[in-house]
Amino acid sequence: MDQETRNCQNCKKDFVIESEDFDFYEKLKVPAPVWCPECRFIRRAVWRNERTLYRRNCDMCKRSIISIYSPKSPYTVYCNDCYYSDKWDSLSFGREYDFSRPFFEQFKELQLRAPRLYSFVFQNTNSEYTNGAAFNKNCYMLFVSDYNEDSLYSYYLMHSKSSADCHTSNECELCYECIGCKKCYKTSFSEDCNDCQDVIASKNCSNCQNCVGCVNLKNKSYCIFNEQYSKEEYSAKVKELDLQNRDGMDAVLEKAHQFFEDKIVKYIHGIKNANVVGDYISNSKNSFDCFGSNSTEDSKHITWGDNINNCQDGYVVVDKSTFSYEIVSAINLNNVKFSVFCQNDFDSQYCDFCESSNNLFGCIDLKKKEYCILNKQYSKEEYNELLPKIIEHMNSQPFMDKSSIEYKYGSFFPAALTPFAYNETVAQEYSPKTKEQAAKMGYSWREPEERNYKITLDSKDIPQSIAETKDDIGNEIIGCGHNGKCDEGCTSAFKITPEELQFYRKMGVPVPKLCFNCRHTQRFKKKNPQKLWKSQCAKCKKDIETSYAPERPEIVYCESCYQQEVA
């Protein structure tokens, strides 16, 4: 088919479906979407509660656990041992398909009966307060992070040690407040730096040592705001900056922010790409509207993809997933559609937390099963006969949400089926909403829990330097500097753990004045948005698509011009 412009059923804005998209839909035997890519992304993102944790009990063994499900949640929640035990049978929740009612109503009822795994963690040691995390040791408040040790308060931190307050960083040690850094040591308040050591408040530097406030430097040492000094001069200048004092560090950070504003940037964060449109993507080819991805081929509308091909519309799609569509938390899938939290599955649709299975439709919690519908077992012949009838029924009797939007076959799960409130999920980070706006879209909202603590230390009274900070600060309940009056999920108060205090002393930085949620959100806002603008290279005028908005002050170059000028 030729390119076609459609009107989004949800936001009423026009969007384009390319001819090659129709080829993909035909290959997977699914109808073309009726929602635009942005609305489809939000509909998937509300299934990812990554950082909102609760203390609750396992509904089977009653053990106290840290879970992504509130104690007030209507779902049955099991700890890891109970969930993977033989004490229950997922097929026991199976039910006949009812052709008198919409499919999604029946699926919702199955959701409320079948147990859910308390959170998504795997083989961690002494790292209870984590989620989406595996192979971590002695870590606290790490999310979507693997293979770390002695690290704190970070998101998408990988293979790192003794680091805190980092975002999308890899193979780092003794790093603090770093974003997009790789293989850095004792680096702080820096972005997009590689192979750097003892670097502070810098951006896009590679193989640099002992630098402050620098940008676009390669193989340099003893530089301050890109000005070269001798080792002795550098030491004297750094001492004058008084970086161990909060006021001194804040002054440097403010100057660095201004210094970076009008510098050259590459139109995309990424390397070794061919025919790629997106951002924060590397080692990929023939992929479009993809973000935070690596080794992604022939794919489209992917956020956090790794080692995948021929996939579209996915959030966290990894480990050789292929020919799959509208998927969330997908691991090694083949021809899986409209599904969440599935791994090692193929030829399945509308599934939730199924593993190592095939030919499933509308199933939850199944492992090593095949030919099941709504958790009821069928023969291969029965399954193949019933499935087309269900698809036809979904089209003739669609689910209708509160906004009178229809959900036929080919639609991802409606808002009413996500187990999380809008502001518990990453959707609130990518597309912040008020309670009223979320309700209008059909999403629930989590009200802040009542706090019974009393703030004992105001943020303005935190010592200016770590040298002035005593051990008893760990006994204080510190009021967040935002006082709960921001839009950043502020917790209003926080505490300092002994491990955290030890880290600040090792790094020589003062105790933070904001709670973890506010710090995380401010790091998230520093990354470029998941949005693209058509533009031109500032030097050669070549057409580019970039996540740098036209009104931003940076000088945006295409790949070749950037390599000539900076690299």
pLDDT in tens, 457-498: 999 999 999 999 999 999 999 999 999 888 888 999 999 999
Mean pLDDT of 496-525: 96
Contact 90, 364 (CB under 8 A): yes
What's the average model confidence in pLDDT over 133-160? 97
- Asked whether 432 and 455 are in contact (CB, 8 A), the reply is no
**pLDDT at position 561:** 96
Task: Write out pLDDT tens, residues 248-263.
Answer: 999 999 999 999 999 9
Could you count the other beta carbons within 10 Å of the beta carbon of residue 30?
19
Which residues fall within 8 angstroms of residue 472, CB to CB, at 6 or more apart?
none
CA dist., res. 173 & res. 88, Å (int): 43
Gap between the Cα atoms of 323 and 330, Å rounded:
12
Please say whether the beta carbons of 379 and 366 come within 8 A. no
Quick check: helix, strand or coil at residue 170? strand
**CB 101, CB 50: distance < 8 Å:** no
Place of tokens 């859910």: 116
* Nearest to 316, CA basis, from 334, 333, 299, 328: 328
d(CA 377, CA 356): 16
28-32, 126-130, 481-485: the lowest-pLDDT one: 481-485
Length of the chain: 567
Entry pTM: 0.94
d(CA 270, CA 294): 9
Please report how the helices 380-396 and 103-113 are oriented relative to each other, as an axis angle in degrees rounded to 10. Answer: 120
Q: Residue 451's closest CA among 481, 494, 421?
A: 494
- In 120-263, DSSP assigns E strands to 121-122, 130-131, 133-134, 140-143, 152-158, 167-170, 185-188, 197-200, 209-212, 221-224, 227-228
Q: Please tell me the predicted confidence (pLDDT) of residue 451.
A: 75
Confidence grade of residue 453 (pLDDT, cut at 50, 70, 90): confident
Residue with tokens 């600040």: 504
The structure tokens 């998408």 sit at 156
Does 1 score more than 80 pLDDT?
no
Q: Is pLDDT above 90 for 42?
A: yes
Listed by start position, the domains of the chain span: 4-49+420-440, 274-377, 459-526
- As a whole number of angstroms, the distance between CA 66 and CA 251 comes to 39
Q: Phi, psi (5° rounding) for residue 189?
A: 50, 40
- Compute the CA torsion angle 475, 52, 343, 73 (nearest 10 deg): 120
Query: What would the two tokens of residue 235 be?
Result: 């030491």
If we measure between CA atoms, which residue out of 478, 464, 458, 476 comes closest to residue 509? 464
Average pLDDT over residues 200-217: 98
- Residue partners of 244: CB distance under 8 A and separation at least 6: 465, 466, 467, 508, 509, 510
Mean pLDDT value of segment 150-170: 98
The predicted pLDDT at position 2 comes to 83
Number of H helices, E strands in the chain: 12, 34
Residue 449 in this model has a pLDDT that exceeds 80:
no
The average confidence (pLDDT) of the chain is 96
What lies within 8 Å, CB to CB, of 448 at 6+ separation is 484
Question: What pLDDT does residue 567 have?
Answer: 65
The pLDDT-based confidence of 402 (bands split at 50, 70, 90) is: confident
- Mean pLDDT, residues 282-291: 97
The Cα–Cα gap between 262 and 175 comes to 26
> Mapped to the 3 state alphabet, what secondary structure does 99-159 carry?
CCCCHHHHHHHHHHHCCEECCCEECCECCCCEECEECCECCEEEECCECCECCEEEEEEEC
